[in-house]
Amino acid sequence: MDAPPAEGGGEQPPDPETNETQKQVDWEAKYHEAVKRSHDLEGQMKASGETVDKLTHRAETAEKALDDLKTAQQRLDWKNAAAKATGIPVDLIRGDSEEEINAHAEALKTYLSTVSKPTAPAVPNPSGTPKTKTGNDNPNMLLLKQLFGTN
């Protein structure tokens, strides 16, 4: 059995020469390990930064597309309301704001109310038969008959 430690502590004092060499090697190894880890983290950070940039661009593009769709839907709703109120087809109504759309629909309604409606051509005898062309109607045929004396 070992003797109990003396009052000053049971361990022997470390050898200063051996201890310093171990510390220097340990610090140097830790330094190289930290540098390597730093490079690894830097590479990961660059890759993450590129990924974040790509995802940010995609998100901005998607938000813009969504805003465009919402705007187009709102414009269509305004056109449908104006078409219902005026009786003008939706495809003919133009404008980007509700005021422009309503004004254009009213202008079309006013214009179309002043334009005369088309009428069908007058048929003198609707129950009769139409005239058919005969060979005598052609001026060349008449000339041939005169020249050759044929019927």
How high is the pLDDT of residue 76? 94
Q: Please work out, in degrees rounded to the nearest 5, the angle formed at the alpha carbon of residue 21 by the alpha carbons of 17 and 25.
A: 170
Q: Please work out, in degrees rounded to the nearest 5, the angle formed at the alpha carbon of residue 105 by the alpha carbons of 98 and 67.
A: 30
Average pLDDT over residues 9-30: 59
Average pLDDT over residues 59-76: 95
DSSP, collapsed to helix, strand or coil, labels residue 104 as helix
How high is the pLDDT of residue 139? 73
> Encoding tokens for residue 131?
């005239």
Q: Which residues of 92-114 are buried (b: 16+ CB within 10 A; e: fewer)?
A: ebebeeeeebbebbeebeeeeee
Judge whether 107 and 82 are in contact, CB under 8 Å.
Answer: no
Q: Give the span between the Cα atoms of 86 and 110, in whole angstroms.
A: 10
Which residue would you say has higher pLDDT here, 13 or 35?
Answer: 35
Confidence (pTM): 0.47
C-alpha radius of gyration, the chain, whole number: 49
How high is the pLDDT of residue 20? 54
Judge whether 79 and 93 are in contact, CB under 8 Å.
Answer: yes
Specify the DSSP class assigned to residue 92: G
| pLDDT, tens digit, 9 for 90 and up, residues 130-151 | 666 665 667 777 777 888 876 5
